[in-house]
């Protein structure tokens, strides 16, 4: 038995097929009266009508899907971002296709090409580095792009990120108010905007607070992992600077500091106050509960989706960099000297 068509629904109701088409499209349904919408939807249900998405995509050149590429789906950072994207897209009848691409550029390019082959209408990238060949590849394909949580140095595409300068200012001022003057920083990878900008923000905060850069050393971690944080913090503790506090570029690095302090025979915060960044899931439940910078990741995803929708409907014609305000969350990992 053949599938029912829009024309057959129109014949059953003695109305024009265009009216049925408008009702069955959530984006145009509001143009039709409520009584007619109810009649059409009931007739479609009675006839067991289901839309042909492939035919619709060919007709409109829109698939109703957005590719979302993340570097590590296991990281607690990305689920709230993806949820913000999904909920915002859903209100406009789009759905995300989420792909885990890792950190390898060849793999990321492969994932992007696979999404484009499935005719996604745009790409939201959480994988981008500061000078990223994958972004250049996407631009060459002419597909709308939005970056989320990271940005590129050239500002080639719109992005939604946390205000890293303000985040570091909050962390350093908090520690200074507790009496700390020798504050170390464990920076993230310099190839990522998050690592680069937080390091720059830390140095700016030192200057604004009148603290000595010579007494506040910086060590760059090669990855945002607990082990990388442990090794970096061990290096800081081995120096002669005798730091009393650390600002870490993310929460995993901060947890690595806990391990390094324990291995050195000390404890946090008695021997080292630690501030993290992101306020990832369960940071309130670790021991000691982590003082950290909270980033509104759900809002970040929602804003990124809104920028993508603006690119698709033509209302956003220029690139934009959206900065989201951070919040200091004080817990037990910091104390006064």
Residue 225: which pLDDT band, with cuts at 50, 70 and 90?
very high
What pLDDT digit, counting tens, does each position of 136-146 carry?
A: 999 999 999 99
pLDDT at 61: 63
CA gap 6, 335 in Å, rounded: 68
**Percent of the chain whose pLDDT exceeds 70:** 95
Calculate the alpha carbon distances from 73 to 81, 82, 309 in Å. 11, 10, 23
33 exposure class (CB count in 10 Å sphere: 0-12, 13-18, 19+): exposed
Is 130:152 a contact under the CB 8 Å cutoff?
yes
* Residues linked to residue 329 through DSSP beta bridges, in sequence order: 292
| Range of weakest confidence among 27-31, 51-55, 77-81, 166-170 | 51-55
HEC letters along 117-180: HCCCCEEEECCCCCCCHHHHHHHHHCCCEEEECCCCCCCCCEEEEECHHHHHHHHHHHHHHCCC
pLDDT of res. 314 = 87
Contact 178, 335 (CB under 8 A): yes
- What integer pLDDT is reported at residue 22 of this predicted model? 86
- Cβ contacts of residue 28 below 8 Å, gap of 6+? 21, 22
Query: Domains in the chain, ordered, with CATH?
Result: 6-51 (no CATH), 63-161+297-323 (3.40.50.2300), 164-295 (3.40.50.2300)
User: b/e per residue, 252-290, with b = 16+ CB within 10 A?
Assistant: bbbbbbbbbbeeeeeebbeebbbbbbbbbeebeebebeb
User: How do residues 106-123 score in pLDDT, each as one tens digit?
Assistant: 999 999 999 999 889 999
Q: Tens of pLDDT along 321-333? A: 999 999 999 999 9
pLDDT at residue 129, rounded to an integer? 94
Tokens of 66: 């957005």
């Amino acid at each position: 038995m053949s599938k029912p068509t829009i024309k057959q629904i129109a014949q059953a109701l003695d109305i024009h097929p265009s009216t049925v088409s408008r009702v069955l499209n959530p984006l145009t349904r509001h143009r039709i009266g409520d009584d007619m919408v109810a009649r059409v939807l009931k007739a479609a249900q009675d006839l067991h009508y289901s839309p042909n998405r492939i035919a619709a995509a060919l007709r409109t050149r829109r698939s109703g899907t957005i590719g979302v590429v993340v570097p590590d789906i296991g990281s607690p950072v990305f689920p709230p971002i993806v949820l913000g994207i999904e909920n915002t897209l859903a209100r406009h009848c789009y759905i995300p296709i989420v792909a885990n691409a890792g950190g390898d550029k060849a793999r990321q390019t492969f994932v992007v090409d696979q999404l484009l082959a499935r005719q996604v209408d745009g790409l939201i990238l959480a994988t981008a580095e500061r000078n990223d060949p994958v972004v250049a590849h996407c631009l060459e394909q002419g597909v709308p792009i939005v970056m989320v949580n990271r940005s590129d140095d050239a500002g080639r595409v719109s992005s939604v990120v946390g205000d890293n300068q303000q985040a570091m200012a909050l962390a350093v001022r908090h520690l200074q108010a507790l009496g700390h003057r020798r504050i170390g920083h464990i920076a993230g990878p310099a190839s990522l905007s998050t690592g680069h900008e937080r390091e720059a923000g830390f140095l700016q905060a030192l200057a604004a607070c009148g603290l000595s850069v010579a007494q506040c050393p910086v060590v760059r971690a090669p990855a945002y992992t607990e082990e990388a944080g442990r090794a970096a913090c061990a290096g800081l503790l081995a120096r002669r600077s005798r730091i009393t506090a650390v600002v870490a570029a993310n929460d995993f690095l901060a947890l690595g500091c806990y391990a390094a302090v324990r291995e050195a025979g000390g404890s946090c915060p008695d021997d080292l106050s630690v501030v993290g960044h992101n306020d990832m899931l369960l940071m309130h439940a670790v021991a000691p509960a982590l003082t950290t910078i909270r980033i509104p990741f759900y809002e970040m995803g929602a804003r990124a989706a809104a920028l993508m929708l603006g690119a698709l409907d033509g209302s956003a014609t220029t690139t934009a960099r959206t900065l989201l305000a951070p919040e200091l969350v004080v817990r037990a990992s910091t104390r006064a000297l």
